Amino acid sequence: MAAVTERFQQLFVVWIVLSITSSVAVDRNNFKTCSQSSFCKRQRNVKPGSSPYRALLNSLELTEKNIKVQLINEVNKVPLLLEIYGLEGNMTRIKITELNPLKPRYEVPDVLIQDPPTLPLAVTGRDDNSIELALSQTDHRLIITSKPFRLDIMAGNELVLSVNSRGLLVFEHLRQRKDTFSDKISSTVGSMWDRIKSLFSSESKQENSESEAEKPEDGNSEQLDAAEKVDEAEPEKNEKDEDTENGMWEETFKTHRDSKPNGPTSISLDFSLPGFENVYGIPEHADNLKLKTTDNGDPYRLYNLDVFQYELYNPMSLYGAVPLMLAHNAQRTLGIFWLNSAETWVDISSNTAGKTVFGKMLDYVQGSKEAPQTDVRWISESGIIDVFILLGPKSTNVFHQYASLTGTQALPPLFTIGYHQCRWNYNDQEDVRNVDAGLDDHDIPCDVIWLDIEHTDGKRYFTWDPNKFPKPQDMLQELEAKKRKMVTIVDPHIKVDSGYKIYNEIRSHDLYTKSKDGNDYEGWCWPGNAGYPDFTNPEMRSLWAKMFAYDQYEGSRENLYTWNDMNEPSVFNGPEVTMHKDVVHNGGWENRDVHNLYGYYVQMATAEGQVLRSGGKERPFVLTRAFFAGSQRYGAVWTGDNAAEWDHLKISIPMCLSLGLAGISFCGADVGGFFKTPSTELLVRWYQMGAYHPFFRAHAHLDTPRREPWLFGEENTKLIRSVVRERYALLPFWYTLFYNAYRTGVPVMRPLWVEFPADVTTFAIDNEFMLGNALLVHPVAEEGSRGVTAYLPGTGEVWYDVRSFQKYIAPQQLYIPVTMSSVPVFQRGGTIIPRKNRVRRSSSCMINDPYTLYVALSSQNTADGELYEDDGHSFNFQTKKEYIHRKFTFINNILTSSNADNSSHFTTKAWLEKVVVMGAQKPSKVHIQMKDGSTSEVEYEFDAATSILTLRKPAVNIASDWTILLR
Ligand SMILES: *[C@@H]1O[C@H](CO)[C@@H](O)[C@H](O)[C@H]1NC(C)=O
Ligand SMILES: *[C@@H]1O[C@H](CO)[C@@H](O)[C@H](O)[C@H]1NC(C)=O
């Protein structure tokens, strides 16, 4: 019987997979539009206008940490509590929730790295309708206007941001479902009209009341539907129909019914940004870097989903969600961080027509009526309003501010920024051995070989197929001998199988998520019927972490790392291919509340497992598909199941840039494209793109022909080899960028505007990008391209082509003729980049190799740069400060290497082999002077045609202090 069931399950999965893989593109019908998501529809039907909310200024209470003010909805009388926090570092936190909720509402835990330090607030002004607060030591002030309720944040006399200025604060309070079904049957049209009338009459009645003692009316008074009901109510309909129609107590999508035991709980708030025309962030969407207005379509959606063959340039949700938006203009960058893990929609409009009419007390704001303005509205299905305003003023301030809340990018082990060779699947140990040998035979460096789901014993994670991978330890040891690593996939759906240890263990601890009837929730995924562990439960995470111990994960070794896929979570037979919203998690919270956190917790638990297995010594590496704010602390993300198409190649830039702006620097797209088969030209161009993305992995679908980089003829092997080797030569630069991302939250891969904030030409550019402050990359992403036009920004700055060393004056639109070997990359004048030009089999083979410094002089003949180095794998850089952090400065013809961090200590055998100075003049002599005063002459060559000065063998240890003098 069991065997029959198993067989059936396998067939079912095969059927699902076939039916999924046979369609050509995303089936949009599988995914909700705003109007199919009842709360989004209800909320979006509320139009801007006068807000029913009034701030009860007399209720103001100033505490040590915040101020509290009650808000009253004058239609339904439900009171809310507003809390405002002035946070250290130019941030303001605004929380709004019900004053007296029927039961607690969900507040996102585990994402903020600490309780953000607060600064005392002070009331600095007050009149009948407003209160002014000083926000911090700087000149920021916040004005609370009572009626209609709004908040305005001012910097000096400049209005920076307004809250609820369009009156879109909507808070669906928790309520009892008043009537039983039979009551409803008998409810009459007349009684409904009575209710509606009473709603409206109560509005006028309450106009002048400021009493806190007002009791909310019964739960059936829906502020936001009141107006609509007048228009839409049809006499035949009873109340139940209406609730159903509005999706308040249940809704269906396709064949799926969402029971809503808590009824409607959605929230919404609007923000106006005078002076801003450009907004960015809120990954993950397959769209341009600069976000579009959503007036004529759906809002951008944030709801982690496994979207099969996603379409480009639209606001549909994808695998991950970071509810952080950045706004930028030539004067200022600011951020809005909406801390909510429920399904969320973000509307953006930018216009002058629907512009806010400023309150009379703000009329003096100069020029505001003429300024462009962006209006943003956030809508979430449940939880509370908890929003952080990051006031910049510079983009680097915003990155620090966001990092101070959610943490920075974990410093990855060095090997993870090398090249990764993956496909679904490397079939067996022999296949792995051949791929490993093929990389060496063709002189293509690589650090990691990956195994997808077929390596397991019947999709039971933490196991190996006994026939294909009988001796995983031997395989891992062979890789170790080559200084290579392996990654295996470990997904969060656990095969329901009483003979499977992992399944039983989680069950015995009763740690699966529950369906609404209280049984373990089960859904279909790769293994057939599967349970979904409740990763929101710390006990589950700790159990999961222990499963990575070497004696638990049989066949694992130190050089085995992990890939978490399908962790949105993907449920093939669930609504929108994910978990039902009424699934119950730890603490009784619904998936509705925690949905966007699931994948975040999976990666967190996996990373903790890797740390645990090494006794806390080794840095983990975990790649995840689903993510949330803070995921940067646990590893890398990739852009999911893309396709071998030119547009997918192009969109990998804005997708990773948006992630980087939202704190997640370690991003890449499947090189070659996951679905479909790339032309050889596309594959080569994709390697040229991927080599300049933070995470660099080739991957391919099971159904596609093999595409290891040496299978396309010697000429193409050479092209791919050359760009992979270029990646390895630049590893010291990449590693230093990652260290800075870890330290400060500044992204590794950056939009041009981050480096050139006042250059409006850069604001919408997403076909080129910066690595750090130093390299500008404009990959070729058009089929049959003969040339590209790169924009070189920076008034009065200079750029050097990294191959020809040709110098260009900025700003300019530079046409660059290209061949298949061209990857247009420019080093910015004024920067110094460390490289290791002796490329070897893997990054660990290069650890002691010598460095070359590339000094690109600015128009003022200056430059500076940095180098970070450590053991590449342990936490000693944190616990023992074992690292080298050098600062290089070129000024007045003197190149100096000094310690950027005197508290660090680490020794290396690596020495300085060469210095290349771009834009140099011919010196008559070159000396190097050591710390002890000793000097020696340095050999050099000068190429007058290119102005390149090459200093040979300064031969000093890279960690030492020295000065090179050009005379
Ligand atoms: C706060 O803003 C002021 C300008 O208003 C700026 O000078 C300062 O650097 C900012 N501080 C932080 C920590 O972002
Ligand atoms: C490190 O110490 C030296 C003197 O020993 C000093 O000149 C230098 O400024 C210090 N560097 C930093 C970054 O503190």
Give the residue numbers spanning the domain of 922. Answer: 766-966
Residue 614 is assigned to a structural domain of this protein: yes
Q: Helices in 801-890 by DSSP H: which ranges?
A: 876-879
Query: Which ligand sits closest to the CA of 866?
Result: 2
Specify the residue with its C-alpha closest to ligand 2, atom 10: 902
| DSSP class of 548 | T
Indicate the number of domains in the chain.
3
Using the mean position of ligand 2's atoms as its centre, give its distance from the Cα of residue 862 in Å. Answer: 21
- Tell whether 539 and 434 lie within a shared domain: yes
Q: Encoding tokens for residue 308?
A: 């099969």
353 and 255 Cβ atoms separated by less than 8 Å: no
- In this structure, the residues whose C-beta lies within 6 A of any atom of ligand 2 are 899-900, 902
Tell which residue, 219, 222, 246, has the closest CA to residue 232.
246
Using the mean position of ligand 2's atoms as its centre, give its distance from the Cα of residue 834 in Å. Answer: 21
Ligand 2 atom at shortest distance from the alpha carbon of 887: 13
Using the mean position of ligand 2's atoms as its centre, give its distance from the Cα of residue 858 in Å. Answer: 25
Here the CATH number for the domain that contains residue 364 is: 2.60.40.1760
Task: Quote the pLDDT of residue 355.
Answer: 40
274 and 373 Cβ atoms separated by less than 8 Å: yes
Containing 245, the helix (H) or strand (E) segment is helix 239-245
Residues 47, 59: Cα–Cα separation, whole Å: 29
Instruction: List the end-to-end C-alpha distance of the chain, in Å, as a whole number.
Output: 88
Using the mean position of ligand 1's atoms as its centre, give its distance from the Cα of residue 662 in Å. Answer: 20
Tell which residue, 58, 134, 119, 124, has the closest CA to residue 89.
119
Residue 213 is assigned to a structural domain of this protein: no
- Tell whether 698 and 777 lie within a shared domain: no
Tell which residue, 427, 435, 424, 526, has the closest CA to residue 467.
427
CA distances from 543 to 110, 256, 536, 604, 608 (A): 18, 32, 12, 12, 11
Residues 740, 161: Cα–Cα separation, whole Å: 30
* Max Cα-Cα span within the chain: 101
| Mutation choice for ligand 2 from 887, 899, 931, CB with most ligand atoms inside 8 A | 899
- Residue 84 identity (one-letter amino acid): I
Task: Quote the pLDDT of residue 27.
Answer: 83
CA quadruple 688, 636, 530, 425: dihedral sign: positive
- Residue 146 identity (one-letter amino acid): S
How many C-beta atoms surround the C-beta of residue 481 within 10 A? 9
Task: Quote the pLDDT of residue 26.
Answer: 76
Residue 3 is assigned to a structural domain of this protein: no
Burial 275-310 (b: 16+ CB within 10 A, else e): bbbbbbbbbbbbbbbbbbebeeebbbbbbbbbbbbb
Beta strand 775-777 with 825-828 is antiparallel
Q: Helices in 691-791 by DSSP H: which ranges?
A: 714-729, 731-744, 752-755
In the chain, which stretches have pLDDT less than 50? Answer: 1-4, 18-23, 180-237, 352-368
Q: Domain ends where: 383, 406, 429? A: 406
- Tell whether 436 and 396 lie within a shared domain: no
Question: Is this structure's pTM higher than 0.75?
Answer: yes
| Mutation choice for ligand 1 from 158, 397, 399, CB with most ligand atoms inside 8 A | 397
- Mind spelling out the 3-state secondary structure of 388-450? EEECCCCHHHHHHHHHHHHCCCCCCCHHHHCEEECCCCCCCHHHHHHHHHHHHHCCCCCCEEE
- Tell whether 102 and 50 lie within a shared domain: yes
Ligand 2 atom at shortest distance from the alpha carbon of 902: 1
Query: Which ligand sits closest to the CA of 392?
Result: 1
Ligand 2 atom at shortest distance from the alpha carbon of 900: 13
Angle at the Cα of 109 from the Cα atoms of 103 and 113, rounded to 5 degrees:
150
Under 8 Å CB-to-CB from 56, ≥6 apart: which residues? 69, 70, 71, 72, 146, 210, 212
Residues in the chain, total: 967
Residue 314 is assigned to a structural domain of this protein: yes
Tell which residue, 134, 142, 147, has the closest CA to residue 160.
142
- Tell whether 835 and 924 lie within a shared domain: yes
Q: Encoding tokens for residue 962?
A: 């020295």
Using the mean position of ligand 1's atoms as its centre, give its distance from the Cα of residue 161 in Å. Answer: 16
- Residue 864 identity (one-letter amino acid): D
Asked whether 438 lines ligand 1 (CB < 6 A), one says no
- The contacts found for 772-775 with CB under 8 angstroms, 24 or more apart, are 772/733, 772/736, 772/737, 772/740, 772/748, 773/828, 773/831, 774/733, 774/827, 774/828, 774/831, 774/832, 774/833, 774/856, 774/865, 775/692, 775/733, 775/802, 775/825, 775/826, 775/827, 775/828, 775/833
Ligand 1 atom at shortest distance from the alpha carbon of 140: 5
| Mutation choice for ligand 1 from 138, 157, 390, CB with most ligand atoms inside 8 A | 138
- Tell whether 467 and 432 lie within a shared domain: yes
- SS3 (DSSP) at 260: coil
Task: Quote the pLDDT of residue 243.
Answer: 64
Q: Domain ends where: 703, 729, 755? A: 729
CA Rg value for the chain:
29
Task: Quote the pLDDT of residue 369.
Answer: 52
Tell which residue, 313, 270, 271, 259, has the closest CA to residue 290.
313
Asked whether 146 lines ligand 1 (CB < 6 A), one says no
Task: Quote the pLDDT of residue 246.
Answer: 86
Q: Domain ends where: 387, 406, 425? A: 406
888 and 866 Cβ atoms separated by less than 8 Å: yes
Under 8 Å CB-to-CB from 241, ≥6 apart: which residues? none
Per-position DSSP letters for 659-720, written without gaps between them: HHHTT---EE--BT-SBS---HHHHHHHHHHHTTSSSEEE---TTSPP--TTSS-HHHHHHH
662 and 289 Cβ atoms separated by less than 8 Å: no
- Tell whether 772 and 878 lie within a shared domain: yes
Residue 603 is assigned to a structural domain of this protein: yes
Here the CATH number for the domain that contains residue 713 is: 3.20.20.80
Report, as residue numbers or ranges, the catalytic residues: 565, 641
Residue 196 is assigned to a structural domain of this protein: no
Ligand 1 atom at shortest distance from the alpha carbon of 88: 13
Query: Which ligand sits closest to the CA of 889?
Result: 2
Asked whether 89 lines ligand 1 (CB < 6 A), one says yes
- Tell whether 680 and 539 lie within a shared domain: yes
Residue 73 is assigned to a structural domain of this protein: yes
- Tell whether 280 and 329 lie within a shared domain: yes
- Tell whether 390 and 292 lie within a shared domain: yes
- Tell whether 788 and 820 lie within a shared domain: yes
Residue 703 is assigned to a structural domain of this protein: yes
- Tell whether 59 and 153 lie within a shared domain: yes
Using the mean position of ligand 2's atoms as its centre, give its distance from the Cα of residue 899 in Å. Answer: 7
Query: Which ligand sits closest to the CA of 89?
Result: 1
Q: Encoding tokens for residue 530?
A: 């599967």
Per-position DSSP letters for 85-150, written without gaps between them: EEETTTEEEEEEEESS-SSPPP---SSSSS-PPEE--EEEEEETTEEEEE-SSSSEEEEEETTTTE
